[in-house]
Chains A and B, each alone.
With several copies, the nearest count.
Chain A
Amino acid sequence: MPRLQLTVDQLRERALIVRRDIITLLAHAKSGHSGGPLSSADFGTVLFFHEMNLTPGDQKDAGRDLWHFSIGHVTPAIYALMGERGYYPLIDLLGFRSLEGHLQGHPSKHDTPGIDVSAGSLGQGLSVCCGMALGARMDGSSRRVYCVMGDGEQQEGQIWEAAMFAAHYKLDSLCAVIDYNRKQIDGDVQDIMGIAPLADKWRAFGWNVLEADGHDIPALLGAFAQAREAKGRPTVILAHTVMGKGVSFMEDDYRWHGVPPSKEQADKALREMGTTLDAWTERLRHHKEVAVAPSVNGAS
């Protein structure tokens, strides 16, 4: 059952788990990004635990869906999602960004099982996904392709090259999600280099544009379902999010874009989420199984 299709409550619970993982792995690495990973946690969870047909451990499965984070810096979210979905033991999260571990600062195909294409330079991922979608279509496959982008990232011209391409080739198996958290490294996106009106831009580039509260699980489920219906053009979901979502002292503050919490801050954050740094570290250390407990069943 590669599409898990968890229920809304299960997804909420899972997103909380992912957030706890993010904070914990960052605190251990003492390096990495907090803001974007937390804003991506909800739609990421919907993707990994409901929307996408994934077969962890069988990367060669030609039927599975494809996904790629163009914002390579949100590895804390990517790795937590992958770990929870069973790509590798959760204990690996504690080796984030270390020389010994396999979880690089930015996604690396030859280090981490489950990564298809390496990333880390912004603006390139949508093009990669275009190639995946086109290749799948050449093979007569109906596998879908999901691309996660940032809002600051929209400033990269290559995104608009890819946007043009995807519309030109009517790549309707392609669904992009933009983590519209209104922040980037140096501050507010609208101050740094305004991207508004973003929906108009994507429409003018020929895309089916959907907007959703990026922390509202039912809204996200609805958007992904709608994307599947769109024929003849690709879909982009503007997921309106809050940077640092879920940690009171991080929310909506761009200064958390690229720094990890200290151990103390992490413990504080985890207490807000109903656990502690020690307790959650213990979970990661010992919870070696595929993270989806057998009691959790998909809806289909």
Chain B
Amino acid sequence: MSRATPPSPAPAAVLANPEMKKTREGFGHGLVALGETNPNVVVLVGDLSGSTNVSFFAERFPERFVQVGIAEQNMMCVAAGLASVGKIPFLATYGAFASCRSADQMRVTVAYTDLPVKIAGAHGGISVGPDGATHQAMEEIAIVRSIPNMRMVVPCDYWETRKATIAMAGDAHPYYLRFGRESVPVVTKEDTPFVIGKANVMREGGDLAIIACGVMVYEALVAAEALASRGIQARVVNLHTLKPLDEDAIATAARECGAIVTAEEHQIYGGLGGAVAEVVVRQHPVPMEFVAVRDRFGRSGKPEELMAAFGIKAPDVLRAADRVLARKKPGA
């Protein structure tokens, strides 16, 4: 596990008033950076150029941009065909469709063939807001993790999304990148190390570990700050790669902290929490609490409002921390 620089607690002031930036812009900018250096990178989209920000690439490299229209199944397999002749295709649509509408194509044609198709699932999570349940993808981690050969990254902010986009182009396997719609707090820096499969410790602590991905890394940091003010030191682990999983970082957290809270903008079954639990029981069983959407469809509303209503804001992380600390064995 690599340690972010600096691993010291983010100053409370920064957390209270963070810079806000869209992860999807990180994706769009990452694509443009790739386009400049790698002529094999091509981009496909299913009639969602603007909202997935592949429009940035399309404007710069129109000859390497493929508009597929509203046909996600076809898009997944066209990408596979492109990959089979040496291209590095990125395809973009909303996560609900990227993960579900073309799941069979992802499984059989892309993953079983182990082609370097990079799937960008935009609009992940309840924070998608007013579009409502059908557009709030919250099952992708469970789906993608179950498919062999797939890799999966859920970056926490603009910079990490940009880096993940660039990094996955350099690995000859299929990837799923999940990001959101809204501006979210920037909690890493341009030069924060990012290595696929290596969790980043965002804050040191030994009383409990909060393991999070996506926008929940910020919520975890805020919760950790509140805990610190009560003298409780929470380690915050940014588990940006859901597959392959950084089992060491998880086992170390279990061993050194003795209690874990997971936090994700995803359904509670089979998500990051489930992935961590699978490692914990095999390596070092400790009490865990899950902050996640409790097996419910989303609904329309404002992003922040929904995150609160669905129980995945910093206060929810805090409550989970208190619950898990109450369960923690004295000696552990």
- Residues of chain A touching chain B, judged by Cβ–Cβ distance below 8 Å, are 29, 31-32, 66, 72, 97-99, 101, 103-106, 108-111, 116-125, 127-136, 138-139, 152-153, 155-158, 161-162, 164-165, 168, 184-186, 191-193
Does B81 sit within 8 A of A, measured CB to CB? yes
Q: Is the CB of A117 within 8 A of B71?
A: no
Does B309 sit within 8 A of A, measured CB to CB? yes
Residues of B within 8 A of A129 (CB): 81
Give B99-153 interface residues, CB cut-off 8 Å to A. Answer: 100-101, 104-105, 107-109, 112-115, 129-135
Can you name the residue of chain B whose Cβ is closest to the Cβ of A66?
B85
Q: Is the CB of A120 within 8 A of B108?
A: yes
Q: Is the CB of A131 within 8 A of B77?
A: yes
Q: Is the CB of B81 within 8 A of A132?
A: yes
CA distance A111 to B49 in the complex (A): 31
Of the A-B pairs whose beta carbons lie under 8 Å apart in the complex, a sample of 20, sorted by A's number, is A98-B300, A98-B301, A103-B300, A104-B299, A106-B131, A109-B113, A110-B113, A117-B84, A117-B115, A118-B112, A118-B113, A127-B76, A131-B79, A138-B64, A139-B86, A156-B71, A161-B71, A165-B68, A168-B69, A193-B69
Q: Is the CB of B70 within 8 A of A128?
A: no
**What are the 9 tightest A-B residue pairs by CB atom distance, in nearest-first order?**
A131-B81, A193-B69, A120-B134, A127-B77, A99-B301, A105-B132, A161-B74, A161-B71, A135-B85
**Which one, A31, A139, A164, A185, contacts B71 given CB within 8 A?**
A164
Does B226 sit within 8 A of A, measured CB to CB? no
Residues of B within 8 A of A134 (CB): 66, 78, 81-82
Q: Is the CB of A136 within 8 A of B85?
A: yes
Q: Is the CB of B73 within 8 A of A128?
A: no
Does B156 sit within 8 A of A, measured CB to CB? no
Can you name the residue of chain B whose Cβ is closest to the Cβ of A125?
B77
Q: Is the CB of B71 within 8 A of A193?
A: yes
Q: Is the CB of B69 within 8 A of A155?
A: yes
With A109-B114, A158-B71, A193-B47 known, 9 other A-B pairs at CB within 8 A are A31-B129, A31-B130, A97-B132, A106-B133, A121-B97, A131-B80, A132-B85, A136-B85, A186-B50
**Which one, A72, A109, A119, A131, contacts B82 given CB within 8 A?**
A131
Q: Is the CB of A138 within 8 A of B87?
A: yes
Residues of A within 8 A of B132 (CB): 97, 104-106, 108, 120
Q: Is the CB of A193 within 8 A of B68?
A: yes
CB distance from B138 to the nearest CB of A (A): 14
Q: Is the CB of B134 within 8 A of A131?
A: no
Q: Mark B304-328, 1 if CB is under 8 A from A, else 0.
A: 0110010000000000000000000
CA distance A165 to B77 in the complex (A): 12
CA distance A184 to B71 in the complex (A): 13
Residues of A within 8 A of B108 (CB): 118-121, 124
Can you name the residue of chain B whose Cβ is closest to the Cβ of A194?
B69
Q: Is the CB of A127 within 8 A of B73?
A: yes
Does B96 sit within 8 A of A, measured CB to CB? yes
Residues of B within 8 A of A186 (CB): 45, 47-50, 67
Q: Is the CB of A72 within 8 A of B299?
A: no
Q: Is the CB of A121 within 8 A of B81?
A: no
Q: Mark B278-312, 1 if CB is under 8 A from A, else 0.
A: 00000000000000000000011110011001000
